[in-house]
Amino acid sequence: MPNESLDPVFQLIKSLTRSEKRHFRLFTNRQGSNEGLKFLQLFDALDRYDEERVLAEVPAIKKVQLANLKANLYKQMLASLRLYHMGQNLDIQLREQLDYARVLYNRGLYQQSLKMLEKVKVAAHHAEMPHIALLALDFEKIIEAQYITRSLRDKAESLSAEVLDTVAHLTQEHELSNLALRMYGLYIKIGHSRNQQDHENISAFFHTAVARVDLTAGGFFEKLYYYQSQVWYHTITQNFRACYRYAQKWVDLFFHYPAMQEQQAMLYLKGLHNLLISLFNLQYYSKFSEVLKMLEAFAANPERRASPNTNMLIFLYYYTNRINAYFMRGRFTEGLTIIPDLLDNLTRFHYQLDPHRRMVFHYKIASLYFGSGDYGKAIMYLDKVIQQKDVSLREDIQCFARILNLIAHYDAGRDEVLEYQIKSVYRFLGKMDEQQQMQVAIFQFLRTLGDLAPNQLRGAFLQLKDQLISIAANPFERRPFLYLDIISWLESKIENVPVQEVIQRKFLLLK
């Protein structure tokens, strides 16, 4: 298991790659011999040992020095990483040139400073970074106000017009990014809309926010945040066809701006992932397989400039969608083969993964075990979701993990704890205000199972199946079926065959 230390110095060291560590040691040599540099000794010690052993292993470091040494080490590591990754981050390069322009200005070399700022502006506009262009423009105005030229009048007017245009784009960009973030935050909290009131409230807010949007002359990020907002809105409201349409626009945008695939790799990967999720929700497997190959090709490209962040996202999106592919085809037992590598990577990226993403993985792993008939392992991973302390995080997943847990206990023959489990789930859902017709029907069914004779079971399963099909006719009652294919489970019980066999048969009919 990963060390749970929250110390930022320790976490930063553990996140470094071998080449980054090598660069840091070379970076320290710029000051001359590194003998006696205690922060470097501390770096080596923390790289080898846990924090408790550092003072014992490096007697040259006194306890009273430790806080200052760690602060110095942290600063030096960040400086080294900034230099190491500068070539991959245009914004870092442009900010450095802004600093150079300030140095030239401070020396009274106004013309040189203005030339530097002009280069920054052109590069920033070309790279769709209006926030950096605006910094250059503001600085340029300061210099022009002091360095009098014959063209001041024309320059003042052109500068003012350029600032107003940049600010207009930047304002719309921020409004759209705020909207995208708020819609994503809402999805993280509730998942899909739960009822008509949810749908109306979310729709009213969203349509008011986008009514003023004008993308006629919009740049890359304005369009991107607009498509993101649409994806999250249609995901929440379960309009998966519209979600697919805007997720495709999101990905296509990176082919209209090909340089952005490298400059904004995180956003490109996220676009591919959301396109895959929309295709999964539509059960459009042929297109899903095609997009998954695009994700694999990007990950395998030797010319791609990898970073720990992009590597983590590739792991996250690749494994999530590989599992979804197994779900679509009903290949649950086959899907178990990737779990060891998945768990190794969960440990490797422990610090980068937030609780929400770990919880989703645990639910998906549990679903693989459930579909393959290993109910004990399914219950073990469902417990990891159920024990999540923040009950406001993905309320939908937490609710359906409890329902799947009930079914897994029934299939595992653990009848002695089933009644307790049902009461526990009722209490949880009562607090979350999350009871839907499908949930209530399953609870009532499981509660009465113990009173049924063996020859009555098939009829009870048939009756529940008909009841759930009727419930699913209501658009706002379909949400539970996105997380739990209860109909296929019931059909497996009715036919007395494994659930993955039922899903495989349905998949072949859809091809």
Indicate the domain borders of the chain: 8-84, 88-148
In 90-147, at which residue ranges do the beta strands (DSSP E only) sit? none
Tokens found for residue 136: 């250059």
pLDDT at 330: 93
Query: Measured between alpha carbons, how far is residue 462 from residues 152, 281, 330, 468, 502 in Å?
Result: 84, 26, 22, 10, 15
d(CA 504, CA 337): 18
d(CA 404, CA 375): 10
Hey, is 239 helix, strand or coil?
A: coil
d(CA 247, CA 279): 10
Query: Measured between alpha carbons, how far is residue 328 from residues 63, 233, 279, 324, 423 in Å?
Result: 57, 24, 10, 6, 32
Phi first, then psi, for residue 383 (nearest 5°) are -60, -35
Concatenating the DSSP letter of every residue in 384-415 gives HHHT-S-TTTTHHHHHHHHHHHHHHHHHTT-G
Query: Measured between alpha carbons, how far is residue 120 from residues 87, 91, 115, 128, 258 in Å?
Result: 16, 10, 9, 12, 21
d(CA 59, CA 191): 53
Helix 130-146 × helix 152-190 angle, to 10°? 150
Closest CA to 232 of 191, 265, 287: 191
d(CA 249, CA 205): 23
d(CA 284, CA 287): 6
pTM exceeding the 0.85 threshold for the entire prediction: no
Concatenating the DSSP letter of every residue in 108-126 gives T-HHHHHHHHHHHHHHHHH
pLDDT at 36: 45
pLDDT, tens digit only, all 511 positions of the chain: 444 556 888 889 888 888 899 999 888 877 654 444 777 888 888 888 766 677 777 777 777 878 888 888 899 999 999 998 888 788 999 999 999 999 999 999 999 999 999 999 999 998 899 999 999 999 998 888 877 655 556 777 888 889 999 999 999 999 999 999 999 988 877 777 878 888 899 999 999 999 989 998 889 999 999 999 999 999 999 899 999 999 999 999 999 999 898 888 999 999 999 999 999 999 999 999 999 999 999 988 877 767 778 889 999 999 999 999 999 999 999 999 999 999 999 998 887 888 888 999 999 999 999 999 999 999 999 999 988 777 666 677 888 888 888 889 888 888 777 777 777 777 776 776 556 788 778 777 877 777 778 888 889 889 989 988 888 888 777 766 766 788 898 899 899 899 999 999 989 887 6
**By the 8 A CB rule, do 128 and 257 touch?**
yes
Tokens found for residue 489: 């489970």
d(CA 358, CA 364): 10
Write down the residue that tokens 């190959």 correspond to.
293
